[in-house]
């Protein structure tokens, strides 16, 4: 997980894409002094689409680079997500969101765009993350000023891009993130995983 997280971050940097560590991965970097959370099963990185980095350019170049370096890249435009893994994705009879049940070591790249919501400049994504607020257009967003310009944080032995104010970002997603709990996991997603495991 350490290797693939820095690989993806390096690829995004070479593409000139603004990106940052987020979710449980950022939580580990901040609260666990640069380490993964013990229960972490993927790496979360976000990327900002803009005039220079559109979906087509980003997904095509990541696929090409992945092919060259021996990584597998799945892109899901409708969901605004790109997944990079060591192993070729296995067949799975359920929805792609359950790919963590296939045992892959991977990075999930969530796509954000600039947006305005209720008069505020935000970075918006299509799917929710933690307690992220719904935006005026039906997505989910964070205030632009919390994220940009990005900074750097130590993560698994090297520096990686992070939000400008990682603590404010984590507070927005998880509330009192310094308190160690397992409840930051989305309960609906956890229930789906249990049901999928039973069906298998």
Identify the pLDDT of residue 177: 87
Residue 149, preceding bond cis, omega within 30 degrees? yes
Lowest mean pLDDT among 5-9, 67-71, 105-109, 182-186: 182-186
Global pTM?
Answer: 0.83
pLDDT digit string, tens, across residues 47-62:
999 988 999 999 999 9
- Residue 3 CA to residue 88 CA, distance in Å, equals 17
pLDDT band at 38, cuts 50/70/90? confident
| Domain over 2-199 is classified CATH 1.10.10 | no
∠ CA(185), CA(176), CA(108), 5° rounding? 35
pLDDT digit string, tens, across residues 90-106:
665 544 444 544 556 88
| Pairing label, strands 81-85, 106-117 | antiparallel
Task: Give the start-to-end residue ranges of the domains of the chain.
Answer: 2-199
Q: What is the DSSP letter of 125?
A: E
Residues above pLDDT 90, as percent of the chain: 68
């Amino acid at each position: 997980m350490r290797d693939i997280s820095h690989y993806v971050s390096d690829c995004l940097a070479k593409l000139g894409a603004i990106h940052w560590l987020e979710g449980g991965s950022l939580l580990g970097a901040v609260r666990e002094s640069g380490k993964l959370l013990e229960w972490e099963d993927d790496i979360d990185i976000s990327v900002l689409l803009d005039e220079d980095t559109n979906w087509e350019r980003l997904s095509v170049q990541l696929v090409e680079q992945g092919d060259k370096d021996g990584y597998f890249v799945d892109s899901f435009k409708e969901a605004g997500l790109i997944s990079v893994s060591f192993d070729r994705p296995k067949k799975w009879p359920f929805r792609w969101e359950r790919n963590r049940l296939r045992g892959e070591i991977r990075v999930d790249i969530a796509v954000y765009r600039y947006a305005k919501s209720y008069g505020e400049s935000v970075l918006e994504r299509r799917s929710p993350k933690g307690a992220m607020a719904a935006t005026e257009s039906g997505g989910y967003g964070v205030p632009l000023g919390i994220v940009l310009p990005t900074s750097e944080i130590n993560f698994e032995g090297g520096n990686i891009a992070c939000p400008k104010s990682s603590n404010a970002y984590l507070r927005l997603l998880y509330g009192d993130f310094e308190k160690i709990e397992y409840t930051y996991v989305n309960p609906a997603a956890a229930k789906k995983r249990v049901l999928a495991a039973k069906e298998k």
